[in-house]
Structures are given as C-alpha cells and as structure tokens.
Amino acid sequence: MLKFLLVAYYFLLMWCHEKNKERKMLSAFIEGEIVIPKKVHQERVYAIDFDNTIAYTKWPTIIKPIPYAMEVLRNLSEDPNCTLILWSCREGKELEEALNFCSAYGVKFDYVNENCERNLKKFGLNCRKVSADVYIDDKSWEGLNGGIERLWKNWHFWLKENGFFD
C-alpha cells in the first residue's frame, strides 16, 4: 500500500510540475518573452516576372498589384531559404519603377535579371538565362489560362494554413 501511495504521490507531483511549467510558458508567451519561430521554406530560387504576374500593368504603366501576390512575395522575401529574382524585360527607368513598386509593399528581391550566387557556384558559369528552381510568369501555361490570380491565391492560403504567416 505504501508503494502505491508513493507512486501516486510521484505522479501527482509530476502533474503539478507540468501544469506549473505550462502556466509559466503561457505567461511568458503572453508577456512577449517567448517568440514562436516562423516556419521557413525549403531552399529554393524563385524567378518571378513582373508585368501581369506581380502587378497588373499596361506597359509601361503599373496599375495595381495582383491579389495575394505581394503577401506571398513578402513572406518569401523574409525567408532566409528563399532567393527571389525579379525576372523581367524591364530596363532603366521602368525597371526602377517596378522595384520601387514592390519595395513599397515590403517585397525585396535578392537579384534582378541575374543568376544568384548559389547557381553560379553550382554551374560554374553565368549564362544569359536566369537559372531558378521555380519560374512564375503570366506567359506560362498556368498564366495563359487565367491562372496567375488563382496561383497567388492558392499559394497564399497554403502558406497561411501551414503556419508560414498569420
């Protein structure tokens, strides 16, 4: 009987200890002492077109961002495992306008119309074609079938459901 009481007492102590630990963690979280780390993506290089892919445009005028594009790109640009390349035919003043437009929404590109360091090391040369793991363009099969808006929306909701942002 004594053995049973000692075991029961031990489990009661452990339960109280765990509850106290949970209370302390909850309190620290509420007070902002604990920050839950944001999920990160698999390491990837994304080459993304600008005109009618990130923003609706009527060359050279930028009209407005495509729904959900900026939220997804902002999330990717904040992730250390993602390399974003702005892959556009724009040059000079028009390219600067596109970069400023994206910057106003908090989107930062790592490279503009050039290969990233990872791929330069991997392939040992810098060719004219931008090398990436994922290409996003309104001239792709998905884009030609009216899917750019759907792509950004689906990607946004997938990121949200999988805890990449609130």
- CATH code where residue 120 lies: 3.40.50.1000
Residue 69, classified by CB atoms within 10 Å of its CB into exposed (0-12), middle (13-18) or buried (19+), is buried
Average pLDDT, the chain: 78
Q: Is residue 142 part of a domain?
A: yes
Q: Is residue 3 part of a domain?
A: yes
pTM of the full predicted structure? 0.69
Q: Is residue 166 part of a domain?
A: no
Other CB atoms closer than 10 Å to residue 105's CB: what's the count? 14
pLDDT band at 140; cut points 50, 70, 90: confident
- Would you say 83 and 42 are in contact if contact means Cβ atoms under 8 Å apart? no
Calculate what percentage of the chain has a pLDDT beyond 90.
Answer: 34
Assign 84 to helix, strand or coil.
Answer: strand
User: 25 and 56: one domain?
Assistant: no
Stretch 43-61: mean pLDDT, rounded?
A: 92
Provide the pLDDT for residue 10.
Answer: 56
Total number of domains in the chain: 2
Structure tokens that stand for 4 in this block: 């049973």
User: 65 and 9: one domain?
Assistant: no
Considering only 28-37, 48-57, 128-137, which range has the smallest mean pLDDT? Answer: 28-37
What span, in angstroms and rounded, lies between the C-alpha atoms of 62 and 117? 30
**128-134: long-range contacts at Cβ-Cβ below 8 A with a sequence spacing of 24 or more?**
130/47, 130/85, 130/87, 131/45, 132/45, 132/46, 132/47, 132/85, 132/87, 133/44, 133/45, 133/46, 134/44, 134/45, 134/46, 134/47
pLDDT band at 111; cut points 50, 70, 90: very high
User: 49 and 31: one domain?
Assistant: no
User: 68 and 134: one domain?
Assistant: yes
35 contacts: CB under 8 Å, gap ≥ 6: none
**Beta strands 55-58 and 61-65, pairing class:** antiparallel
Q: Is residue 98 part of a domain?
A: yes
- Would you say 76 and 37 are in contact if contact means Cβ atoms under 8 Å apart? no
Structural domain for 31, as ranges: 1-36
User: 141 and 110: one domain?
Assistant: yes
- Would you say 85 and 116 are in contact if contact means Cβ atoms under 8 Å apart? yes
Residue 165 φ then ψ, to 5°:
-160, 165
pLDDT at 70 over 60: yes
User: 54 and 86: one domain?
Assistant: yes
